[in-house]
Amino acid sequence: SQWLERIGLLPDADRQAGELPYGDQRRLEIARAMCSKPTLLCLDEPAAGLNRNESAALNKLLRNICDTYGIGILLIEHDMSVVMNISDHIVVLDYGKKISDGSPVSVRHDPRVIRAYLGEEAECDPGAVEPGLSC
């Protein structure tokens, strides 16, 4: 119940996971993983299918997990706002080959990353980026 409280789902503790909204199901999956007290949390596209508000809640949860518990996160994600918000260090692969490695700022401005993943004109939603960070 500690993790249900931490992710704001304690009031829904008696509900079946499948009855929860999709964003809540994703946060519940992370909470279940955290119950085993991992030192590394492996997440494969945790923001896939989430709306903007759900993605922002996920960003907040993952950043809190990193900051509070000192847990590393191995993240596979295409939502750049999630990647930029929770990462201290990013390794970018393109077709299985490393094309960039560094801080969010350096990766964000790496021309190889822009070409491979963001297009020539990189787009970032400033509203989805945590305060203190920039696109």
User: Where are the chain's structural domains?
Assistant: 39-128
Q: How far is CA 105 from CA 85, 87, 116, 125, 135, in A?
A: 11, 10, 16, 15, 8
Q: Is the dihedral of CA 105, 103, 98, 61 positive or negative?
A: negative
How far apart are alpha carbons 58 and 24 in whole angstroms? 9
- Burial of 81 (C-beta count, 10 Å sphere; 0-12/13-18/19+): buried
How far apart are alpha carbons 131 and 101 in whole angstroms? 24
Q: pLDDT tens, position by position, for the chain (135 residues)?
A: 789 998 888 998 999 999 999 989 999 999 999 999 999 999 999 999 999 999 998 999 999 999 999 999 999 998 888 898 889 999 999 999 999 999 999 998 999 998 887 666 545 556 655 566 555
Homologous superfamily assigned to 39-128: P-loop containing nucleotide triphosphate hydrolases (3.40.50.300)
